[in-house]
Amino acid sequence: MIKTTIAGSLPKPRWLAEPERLWAPWQLEGEALIEGQRDAALRWLKIQDEAGIDIQSDGEQFRKHFVHGFLEEIEGIDWSRMTTMGIRDNRYDAQVPTVTSAVRRKKSVHGDGVKFLRPHATRELKFTLPGPMTICDTIADAHYGSRPEMAMAFAGLLNEEARELEALGVDVIQFDEPAFNAFMDQVPVWGVDCLHRAIEGLRCKTAVHICYGYGIQQNIDWKDSLGDEWRQYEQFFPALNESRIDQVSLECADSHVPLSVMSTLKDKEVLVGAINVATNEIETPEKVAATLRAAMEFVDPERLIACTNCGLAPLPVRVAEGKLMALGAGAEIIRKELAG
C-alpha cells in the first residue's frame, strides 16, 4: 500500500551531459557514451533503492529528451529541416524537426536500455514513452496535414515499442502527455483514442502522466498566469476514468489543483505528485506525508501511489537525490499511520 515511483526524468551527471539543462548534448561519444549512460542508470537505480522507491526507472539516462529520444530513431522525420514551433499551445517556441513522410520505426528504440536495466533493477521497473498528442506538439508536420492522423500513426509505433519493452520485463509502461493540459478539449475527442492504440495488447500496467511541465521559467510563468485554481484536469479526467489506462499521474505538490478532481478517477490508480520539481528546496518527509494525507480524502489508499510532480532533469543532482529520499520517507510515514 502507498507504493512510490517517479514521473520520469532524473538529472544526468555532469560527466554525461551538461547539467540542469533540457536537450543537453552528450559529453561522450561511441562506446564511452553507452558506458556512461549505463553507469548513470546504475547510480540512479541504487539511489532509488536507498530511497525506498518501489517502481523504479532509469530516469531517462539513455536519451537526451523524453520526446526526441524516441523520435531520433524514427524514419520519416527530417532532422535537417528544423522548424520554429509554438509548444504547448504557444507557451514557448522551440526548434523542432519536421515530419516529411509516413513515419516508421526502424528497430526497437529503447530495447537495449531495458535489456541492461532489467537484471539490475531490484524492484518493479517502469519505462516512460512520449504520448502521441505530446509528440505531435513537439514536432512539425509537413506530411499528414492533421494532428489526430499523425498522432495515431505515432501511436502505432509506440505500441510496437511498448510490446517489445513489455516482453523484455518492463512492469509499467507510462505515456507522458503534458500536452493534455494544453489541449483539454481534444483529449476526449482523439487523445484517449490514441492512447488506446498505444496500449493495444499490453498486459503490463499502463499509465499516463499529465503535469504542468518541467520547472523551467516558461512553465513557471504560465502557472503564475493560471490564477488561484488550476482546473485543467477536471475537463478530461472523466474521459480518462472511462479509458483502458490503469494509472493516471498528476501534479499535486505546491500546486493550485483542487484535490477534489481526483474523485473523478475513482476507477484508476492515482499517481499523486508529492514532490515539487520547480524548486531546489528539498521537501521534508512530513510535507510529503501531508500531501499524500490530503489526497487520501479523495483517493483510496489502495489506489494511491506517491510520485513526483514531473521529471527532475533540470535540477541539481544532489537536490534530486534529496527529493527522492523525502518521497520514500514521506510514504513510509503514511504506511505506518495506515498500519495503526
Report pLDDT digits (tens) over 64-100: 999 999 999 999 999 999 988 877 767 778 889 999 9
pLDDT attached to residue 220: 72
Phi/psi of residue 227, nearest 5 degrees: 85, -165
Reported pTM: 0.95
Report pLDDT digits (tens) over 95-136: 899 999 999 999 999 999 999 999 999 999 999 999 999 999
CA distances from 60 to 127, 139, 175, 261 (A): 9, 20, 13, 29
Report pLDDT digits (tens) over 181-219: 999 999 999 999 999 999 999 999 999 999 876 666 776
pLDDT attached to residue 215: 60
Provide the 3-class DSSP secondary structure of residue 307.
Answer: strand
Report pLDDT digits (tens) over 18-34: 988 888 899 999 999 99
Instruction: Report, as an integer, the average pLDDT of 310-328.
Output: 96
pLDDT attached to residue 22: 81
Percentage of residues in the chain with pLDDT exceeding 90?
A: 85
Model confidence at 340: pLDDT above 70: yes
Q: How does residue 335 score in pLDDT terms, banded at 50, 70 and 90?
A: very high
Model confidence at 224: pLDDT above 90: no
pLDDT attached to residue 216: 66
Q: Which three cell numbers stand for residue 66?
A: 523524453
Model confidence at 227: pLDDT above 90: no
Q: Where is pLDDT greater, at 87 or 1? A: 1
**Angstrom distance (rounded) from CA 238 to CA 221:** 28
Q: How does residue 156 score in pLDDT terms, banded at 50, 70 and 90?
A: very high
pLDDT attached to residue 238: 97
pLDDT attached to residue 13: 96
Give which of 229, 155, 232 is closest to 191, Cα–Cα. Answer: 155
Residues whose CB is less than 8 angstroms from the CB of residue 115 and which lie 6 or more positions away in sequence, other chains included: 168
Report pLDDT digits (tens) over 33-70: 999 999 999 999 999 999 999 999 999 999 999 999 99
pLDDT attached to residue 85: 82
Q: Which three cell numbers stand for residue 273?
A: 505528485
Give which of 299, 236, 240, 306 is closest to 271, Cα–Cα. Answer: 306
Model confidence at 225: pLDDT above 80: no
Residues whose CB is less than 8 angstroms from the CB of residue 277 and which lie 6 or more positions away in sequence, other chains included: 7, 214, 215, 308, 309, 310, 311, 312, 314, 315
Model confidence at 336: pLDDT above 90: yes
Average pLDDT, the chain: 94
pLDDT attached to residue 5: 98
